[in-house]
């Protein structure tokens, strides 16, 4: 029989220290204990845990910290106060888990790549160093996350109040898609890290353009970004600036941009409906480096001196019928 070592290996000990620092204490509570603390059933507590993005925990496993119990109790306090019902609490938890997971993965990977280049570290070593440094600056990152959430909530509140005051709750928005030209060919030619860097650069530059012009970035999916704006003119400016920005970038290929204006259903931060689908279809029809807009958008822009419109031929668009779009250009 081999006796267990008196001390953990340094790497494991370090990993345990970092985990406790990040979680605010040791894992010492079971699923049943966590559920009892928040006065919910173990089954519902497990459902929330899965919604957060984590695997099921065995019945007797000490997997939860004091912080986990407090977070669960705070969430259930919102349910008990009728601010949320149980299904909405699961949806909120799932949205938080999904979006924060993406944020953390991006943070660690970006910091790891930075350390890899600046300190000449191997990739695995750079990622470990990124996690270690992140834990050393936990308070700063946490404060920034809360700050960003409050700022974004204030922006949403401002838009909602402005709509209420103007009695303009029609749900009409201008929707735009921009996607990278020849991305499939690029993905076959570039190494994985090069492709990831290109997609990240595209996302960052697009986000800067959209926010700077007063639009809202809905989501980035690989080689494509989806944005909305409160007017056709604002959406057109965003589309043109996206095309110009990517054309001037020495690394990125051109983009195609499609814009449509109409009624849009907004749910959980995403947008849906025929207007969204039409904008997406127009993107596929646009020539590289150009902005193609639907009739409602071009009619809204017709009297705007900032734009020149070239009406394109009528086309049959899948699922949309016959559409006569227009190419939007900046007046020189």
pLDDT (average), residues 86-106: 90
Residue 243, phi then psi, degrees to nearest 5: -60, -40
Q: Give the span between the Cα atoms of 138 and 135, in whole angstroms.
A: 5
Mean pLDDT computed over 211-228: 91
What pLDDT does 30 receive?
93
- The class that CATH gives domain 170-330 is alpha beta
Encoded tokens for 315: 């086309």
Determine the average pLDDT of the residues in 301-324: 86
Residue 29 has pLDDT above 80, yes or no: yes
Residue 154 pLDDT greater than 90, yes or no: no
Res 161: pLDDT? 64
pLDDT of residue 257: 97
pLDDT over threshold 50, residue 168: no
User: Given this model, what pLDDT does residue 9 score?
Assistant: 41
CA atoms 55, 60, 65, 71: torsion sign:
positive
Flag whether pLDDT at 189 surpasses 90: no
pTM tops 0.95: no
pLDDT over 80 (residue 108): yes
**pLDDT beyond 60 at 252:** yes
**Hey, which residues does 317 pair with through a beta bridge?**
321
Sorted by sequence, the CB contacts under 8 Å of residue 111 that are 6+ apart come out as 130, 133, 134
The better pLDDT of the pair 63, 315 is held by: 63
Domain parsing of the chain, residue ranges: 10-98, 170-330
Q: Is 233 in contact with 298 (CB distance < 8 Å)?
A: no
Helices marked H in the chain: 10-23, 31-38, 42-51, 66-80, 86-118, 123-136, 138-166, 183-189, 192-212, 232-248, 274-285, 295-301
């Amino acid at each position: 029989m081999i006796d267990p070592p008196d001390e953990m290996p340094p790497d494991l000990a370090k990993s345990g220290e970092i985990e406790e620092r990040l979680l605010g204490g040791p894992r010492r509570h079971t699923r049943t204990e966590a559920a009892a603390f928040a006065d919910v059933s173990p089954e519902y507590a497990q459902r929330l845990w899965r919604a957060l993005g984590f695997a099921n925990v065995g019945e007797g496993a000490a997997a939860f910290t004091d912080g986990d119990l407090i977070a669960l109790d705070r969430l259930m306090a919102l349910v008990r106060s009728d601010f949320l019902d149980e299904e909405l609490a699961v949806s909120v938890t799932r949205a938080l888990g999904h979006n924060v997971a993406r944020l953390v993965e991006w943070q660690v990977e970006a910091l790891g790549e930075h350390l890899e280049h600046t300190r000449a570290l191997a990739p695995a070593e750079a990622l470990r160093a990124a996690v270690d440094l992140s834990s050393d600056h936990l308070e700063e990152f946490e404060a920034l996350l809360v700050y960003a959430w409050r700022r974004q909530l204030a922006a949403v509140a401002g838009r909602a109040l402005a709509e209420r005051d103007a009695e303009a709750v029609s749900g009409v928005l201008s929707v735009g898609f921009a996607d990278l030209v020849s991305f499939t060919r690029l993905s076959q030619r570039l190494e994985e890290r090069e492709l990831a860097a290109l997609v990240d650069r595209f996302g960052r530059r697009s986000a800067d353009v959209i926010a700077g012009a007063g639009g809202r970035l809905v989501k980035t999916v690989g080689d494509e970004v989806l944005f909305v704006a409160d007017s056709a003119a604002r959406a057109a400016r965003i589309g043109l600036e996206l095309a110009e920005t990517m054309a001037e970038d020495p690394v990125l290929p051109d983009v195609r941009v499609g814009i449509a204006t109409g009624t849009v259903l907004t749910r959980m931060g995403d947008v849906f409906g025929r207007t969204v689908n039409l904008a997406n279809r127009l993107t596929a029809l646009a020539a590289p480096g150009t902005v193609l807009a639907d009739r409602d958008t071009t009619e809204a822009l017709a009297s705007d001196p900032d734009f020149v419109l070239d009406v394109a031929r009528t086309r049959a668009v899948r699922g949309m019928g016959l559409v006569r779009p227009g190419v939007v250009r900046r007046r020189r």
